[in-house]
Amino acid sequence: MRKILIALFFTLFANWSQAQQLERIEPMFWWVGMNNPKLQLLVHGTDIATLDVQLNYPGVKLVKVNKVENPNYLFLDLEIAAETKPGKFPIAFTKGDKKKLQYVYELKKRENGPSRIQGVTSKDLIYLLMPDRFANGDPKNDVIKGMRETKLNRDSMYYRHGGDIQGLINKLDYLKDLGVTAIWMTPEIENDMPLVSYHGYAATDHYKIDPRYGTLDLYKTYVDKAHQKGLKIVKDIVHNHMGTGHWFYNDMPMKDWVNQWPVYTQTSYRDEPVMDPHVSEADKKKMLDGWFVPSMPDFNQRNPFVQNYITQNHIWWVEYAGIDGLRLDTYPYNDPDYMKDWAQKIKAEFPTLSIFGETLVHTAAAQAFFTGGNTVNRGFDTELPGITDAVIKNAIYEALNGKTGWTDGIFRLYSTLAQDFLYQDADRNVIFMDNHDMSRFYSMVNEDIDKFKSGIALLLTMRGIPQLYYGTEILMKNYSNPDGLVRSDFPGGWPSDKSDKFIESGRTAQENEAFNFVKTLANYRKSNTALQTGKLMQYVPENGMYTYFRYQPEGGKTVMVIVNVDDQAKSLNTSRFAERIEKAVSATNVITKERLDNIKSITVPAKTTLVLELN
């Protein structure tokens, strides 16, 4: 009997000890002086809900302790008064009059400085890259013991290749020299998934940098070093879903933390039900609540605890690192009411932060539907400043590759820009030729260097915020099927690479031709306010040629852009552009530096976009 009692005692002690584990509190720390005084802490630990909570710090009030379905969670509602001082204080978890666990929470002072949270605007050129495929600066973190994906295989497009944040830090000077002013990495937070973890869009820890990329401290160092070099930072964030390897997916706070279905239901990927006035509610629910893929559970954004968790996480990252902009993944798939609330709370904390949402839709009207200011059609303001402008991308491809017709070829681009009245401000849209989810630009113009340069000229002189996908400047190519090929490594990012495309001597003559074209125009744009913030005036295309101007009224610079999409050179009589040319009598070719002393008639080579600064 004595042995049984002893065994029972140790069993109970072991179970009680297990119940006292405190695994995490998120956010791990916060700041005083935030616009919103409310903070909700997620507390996770075995049977943590069996304990009481106490804290005592001047200016901090524990308003409510929320217990949910899962006893391994508590949600603590705090209020932080405006006069609260930075400092540390214990959060005690007690049973009766005994303290069982304690977490020392810190409220930090908010950082200030001219390089923090600058915003990304039409003055910038964004460079998009996948950190795993750009450069490997620290081989020691290529494989991390204990993570679900343990292979490093550069011969496969679906395994990790070893690129990391240190590798990107090492290449900041390359990007600055190219004329880039902002960097957008695909998500760098932990993706501890068994397959395709390099992709980044299946988070398994929202407060942790993936250790194969680096650490929290290294990420902040990266942002600081980029700012020191005049480069801004865009962070890629995902509201809609997480990965099945996420720690809280495997121990969910409550059943409706994610959208539940009787059987697995995938989203339709159709944006129309979100805006259709004749919509079936079943179609709308499938679009918004269906899972993106089986490995990416869909957040239930109508759950207030989910809302607080996601919003606070994004505020935490911006304040912690001082980043300049946010790119919102899969924007149309999110709950519209929540996204409005999210945008209002983000803007209240960071008025200078830039935000743009991914909307891979097919019409300008559909894009505009998701942007801020479109209250007539939506009944509310989404508060979303800008979107990724796939419609302009498609129009540029049609201009370069299509045959001219009433609405085809170059007319598609003209008519698409004519619909800019749909947006509150089209200059806040991000324009691009390709990204990590689609075929590369150089392949899409059939590896025609003239079409390539013509498209780049359009990208860098058009309204909006231009975005360049990594390797475009050195003619990296491939199609999205299979999609891994458009995510090839940047040659030279690994010490064992046979060639180094980061340096002139490592590139072929044609690669240098492309690189220098991008560099010349990007750096010209960086110093020319007409291309950054100037007005746009376009003219109806005639005879296979399309002309538009970027200009600043009242004596500012004027840039004339002439697009010839035909296979033969053409002469352009400029008399119809008199209202914009005004008194200019000559022009300078921005790329070649050649001076045109007579601009009454301009010869435009085949498949060329001329960029001329009027004198």
Query: Is 138 designated active site?
Result: no
Query: Is 149 designated active site?
Result: no
Question: How many angstroms separate the CA atoms of 122 and 429, rounded?
Answer: 8
Backbone φ, ψ for residue 212 (5° rounding): -75, -10
HSE toward the beta carbon, residue 589, CA cutoff 13 A? 16
Q: Of 515, 495, 494, nearest to 133 (Cα)? A: 494
Q: Which two tokens stand for residue 439?
A: 């075929």
C-alpha torsion 96→99→104→105, nearest 10? 0
Contact 397, 403 (CB under 8 A): no
| C-alpha to C-alpha distances, 382 to 335, 360, 363, 420, 610, nearest whole angstrom | 11, 17, 18, 18, 38
The residue type of 226 is A
The residue type of 528 is N
HSE toward the beta carbon, residue 557, CA cutoff 13 A? 18
Q: Which two tokens stand for residue 178?
A: 């190219």
Question: How many angstroms separate the CA atoms of 20 and 244, rounded?
Answer: 26
Spell out where 362-516 has E strands.
386-387, 430-432, 465-469
| C-alpha to C-alpha distances, 297 to 191, 249, 265, nearest whole angstrom | 14, 8, 11
Contact 239, 203 (CB under 8 A): no
| C-alpha to C-alpha distances, 157 to 137, 489, 502, nearest whole angstrom | 20, 9, 21
Question: How many angstroms separate the CA atoms of 235 and 189, rounded?
Answer: 10
DSSP strand pairing (545-551 vs 558-564): antiparallel
The residue type of 472 is T
Contact 118, 226 (CB under 8 A): no
Residue in 358, 383, 389, 511 annotated catalytic: 358
Buried b / exposed e over 115-148, threshold 16 CB at 10 Å, is: ebbbbbbbbbbbbbbbbbbbbbbbeebeeeeebe
Q: Which two tokens stand for residue 103?
A: 């977490």
Residues forming beta bridges with residue 570, ordered by sequence position = 604
Q: Which two tokens stand for residue 475?
A: 């003619």
Residue in 329, 349, 398, 489 annotated catalytic: 329
Spell out where 134-187 has E strands.
182-185
Residues that are catalytic: 329, 358
